[in-house]
Structure 1
């Protein structure tokens, strides 16, 4: 195991360690945060971070109402990662299921699903978010569902193409000759064979989902106070970039490094799991 880990490129190992550290920090926010993310102290407002001459009481400084930035980053990290992870899984499950349905039914059902895929890909998602929020209102669960539906079309298109290709392979034709049910062929034989490509797509979509949550929260369409997220912190800190840069720079740096690390990991997985890359 140790030898295999050292065979991984250094940048990928660094990305893995950083992502594990973020997950541990986010999950352990209740125990690791020195303050509650909602605690305010007007007398301690806009204190600089330690690297800018601040004190150890607030290593990342405080915001405009005296809340500890480090504590808010830990809690915001947990919220952002949870929304991104659940949203990515929702999109992957919905898209994969619709891809199987399109490949199996063909005909009008396939045309409707692929038309929805083209519509989703063509229309800016922010417009769809505004439309649905105007109808259903705002809320954490509605926001989570919208984030989850952001990338389903990628999985649907990918799954449909791979399932149609797999149905022409000899092993599927042999299974059909054994008169196995279609559900058994799809779930026990085709899905495991296309699973590696779906996993790679999941890792590549995760950074985009993080950025989507960040962007929507930055615009005030996502997580709402008194809750917190990295995107919300970034949006609240943009008004203080000149005199209190740390309010926005620290959460923004975490967002940048998290998405970069996930992209590096996704590229490495694609190279490892893609048969064409391995043959090259």
Structure 2
């Protein structure tokens, strides 16, 4: 390989900005449109492409009166430039992620979809699905930094902020005597067994049985540990179940099941919580970010 000449040494190496400009020109096949997409002037773009061609040492474009075409060298450089740009974006993203402390966010399995939308602004979140009692325990121990909690959790040592309050629905078998009604009245369900979640406190169980604001005797149905077990119990006519409306909006039909609006049932409230006395700015900023997104993220969307 011949030694580089003085002229070669005076020609600067191509930079990433020039390659991005070239990729835009190659896509638009027109300097004016490419300059508009890059938000720079056409003369500045033209000078950058000429400088790139001097650096590479070959023509990259065939300039015609109304369009531009790529030379063989231009097509080869374009493929490499696009790969390099993609790798650069990935490198920057990875560097930012490495410099951003990750947060463990606990959610109840019913709220996974809503939690994903509320927290989508933050790239460094690890979700963990827990029942309500475990969520509060993990906050107090410090093993989880943030939790999205439903009603009737143990508030000891937890600082919580209300995110939303929404109505609840009743899930019925599709052939239930009340399934044809648009709105069901709680008084018509008093004799129905209701699914019970394992490991719930008495206060939690009363809430999920719609017996919290108006205490009343109620019939415990099968004990469940997952939403799938809840739906199976209802479909088999073993119980009915109350759910937040965001999980199954009124009118939702699942195989063998229907969701109906219900009157006389307390609302379901979603809270975001962290350990009391938490001073980490990453946690406080994340909580503030989630709270600010609530008006933008419809719970039923």
**Which of the five TM-score ranges fits, normalised by the shorter chain?**
under 0.3
Greater share of helix: 1
Structure with greater contact order relative to length (CA < 8 Å, sep ≥ 6):
1
Give the TM-score, by structure 1 length.
0.25
Give the TM-score, by structure 2 length.
0.24
- Larger C-alpha radius of gyration, 1 or 2? 2
Greater share of strand: 2
